[in-house]
Chain A
Amino acid sequence: MPLLGLAVGIVLADSSVVTIALPEILGQYDVEIETLAWALTSFNLALALAAVPAAFAARRRPVGVFAVGGGVFAIASLVCAFAPSFGVLIAARTVQGVAGAAVACAALALLAEVTGADARAARIWAVAGILGAACGPAAGGILTQLLGWESIFVVQAPAILVTLAAVVGLRVAPTAQPRERPHLGANAALMLVSGALVAALFLLVILLINGWRLEPLAAGLAVTVMPIAAILAARFAGAVTPLWSRAAAGVILISGGLAALGWLPEAGVAWTIPPQLAIGAGLGLALSALTERALAGRSAQAVHGGWTLAARHAGVVLGLLLLTPIFTADLEQKADEALAAGTAHVLDSEIPPLQKFGVARDILVAVDEAEAEARVPDVGEVVEARSDEPAYAALAESLQDQLDRAATNAFSNSFLAAALLGLAALVPILVDRRGVSI
């Protein structure tokens, strides 16, 4: 049973695990930043599209689907690690998504068989998925810093193969054709919440690394707050009844946390901790409640599990499609504002007039270089390299402050839009609560 849970966790961690590695991947392959997003989108889109067909296949032969899915996932992971081009990486990520769908859906059918109780199987499956998704960025950051981004995929291959031991000698009879339609209310809410969580699991990591210049390891450790909060919340989630109330409370916490990230009073990891706690707790409550609601009383667990997977990953794709344009447009605008504010600081600074235009030119060169590498320039270093006089240190500090403000502010609208997307999930939850059949 733990191995089946581990398999689900590994597969669903893959949704967000490469976020921290994106700058490293950008450095290796000569692609545009917009194209780079396909490293995330391809996996989630493939998983969303393959989940339901994979679930129908898993209903008939769960052991076979789990074994084949796990084997293909391992091979695709190794191809990702050693991909000679970005195109091959995207193709392998797509195969990972399809194989991952097979593993996750078959694991649900197998958990139902092993535990002998559908409700318990659904709970274990949901919690494993939540932990996987929440731990993805942290695991990716630690591996990227210590061993390089390729290690994320190298580690996955043996890890998923180990979980295949769970089905050795296991015989499972095919389950019946599902009689019920998928639970639209719970699945719609899952899609919206997952779309909102894109901001927490993807954009927050980008803010930490590309905006605030944290090392991947430090960023990975910083975002471990979310999975810890999710684990604690999921542990006590069973005590919060009814399910709709738990789901609504979770959604409100997620949206509150995202809104707080949109209104950070200052740049700094410490300011992200309270919002992360809210989002992590909300994630643990909402996803478990909605998944259990979607599977409750359903005869074919694997099939309805497939629908929840499809809903969640369609939500991730929706979130990426909605939030990326907002974020990129704001980033461009805030970069211009920061440049103007920085220029004003240089012109009005106390450094000698003869030095000002030289300093300004050095900064513009640093800005151009950083722009080409899709990172925030270290202008403080440029200014301080010219002199160790206090006027230069003061200028470096004020320029750094403007950059921090711009980087932080560039993410605000995206976090706030994600908060609204999360709140929209309350609609299907409340409609479902009123007994309206959807």
Chain B
Amino acid sequence: MRAIALAVVASAALVGTYLALGGASYAPAKVADPCAARDWRDPGGFQEVVEQIVLSSLDGAACELGVSREEVVLAFESRRTRERFAREHGIDDSELERLVRAGLVRAVDDAEQADALNGTTADLLRGVVSRIPVEDLLNLPGVLPGLGNLFPS
């Protein structure tokens, strides 16, 4: 019986120590709720503002679809992944595109109201957002490098 008691104590101490050190919660980080408000980081330039707009629009589209922002980003990896994502969520590819474009326009509006963008730049961005190919929607900072001089410094 002493051997059994020793084994129980040793096992309990080992498992207890590992649990106390966080063993039950050592897992990949949970992604944030896209419907919850995020802090608007102080943008340091035009690219950063556009980035914030893209991220904000992704949150909007993801919230509406009931998925995470990251799932929307991964859906835009290629045409195949976009179509698979749309199929899995019962929408068609054009509906997904519409959601992201609408989110981008909304985010430009928000940035303009927050004085992060001036009216001219905001108008220009809204025009670009409604016309650029769907593959480039999430890479807006990358397709707009020439507009940096329009950003109010």
Spell out A's residues near B (CB within 8 Å).
240, 245-246, 248-250, 252-253, 255-257, 259-260, 262-267, 271, 274-275, 278, 282, 285, 334, 337-341, 343-345, 347, 352-354, 356-358, 360-361, 364, 402, 405-406, 408-409
Contacts and interface: CB of A to CB of B under 8 A. Distances in A.
A278 B3 contact: no
Given A253-B10, A341-B31, A353 B48 contact: yes
A264 B19 CA distance: 8
Interface of B is mostly: helix
Interface stretch (B67-75, B82-90, B101-109): B67-75
A360 B11 contact: no
Given A263-B24, A264-B18, A265-B21, A356 B74 contact: no
B144 to A, nearest CB: 10
Contacts of B6: 249
B51 to A, nearest CB: 4
Contacts of A338: 28
B4 A275 contact: no
Contacts of B73: 343, 347, 360
A409 B142 contact: no
Given A343-B74, A356-B51, A409 B28 contact: yes
B26 A256 contact: no
A260 B14 contact: yes
Given A263-B19, A337-B27, A341-B31, A245 B138 contact: no
Contact of B68 (A260, A278, A340, A357): A340
A245 B28 contact: no
Nearest to B144: A354
A387 to B, nearest CB: 16
B6, B7, B24 — most chain A CB neighbours (10 Å): B7
B54 to A, nearest CB: 8
Chain B contact-residue range equals 35 or more
6 contacts: A248-B3, A347-B69, A347-B70, A347-B73, A353-B47, A406-B28
In the complex, the 3 A-B pairs of residues with the closest C-beta atoms, listed nearest first = A256-B11, A263-B23, A265-B21
Nearest to B19: A263
Contacts of A344: 29, 31-32, 69-70
Contacts of B51: 353, 356
A249 B10 CA distance: 10
A170 to B, nearest CB: 38
Contacts of A334: 27-28
B145 to A, nearest CB: 7
B27 A405 contact: yes
Contacts of A360: 73
Nearest to A246: B3
Nearest to A237: B3
Contacts of A262: 23
Nearest to B38: A348
B11 A337 contact: no
Nearest to A352: B47
Contacts of B7: 248-250, 252-253, 256, 282
A341 B29 contact: yes
B22 interface: yes
Contact of A275 (B14, B27, B47, B68): B14
B96 interface: no
A348 to B, nearest CB: 8
Interface string B1-13: 1011011101110
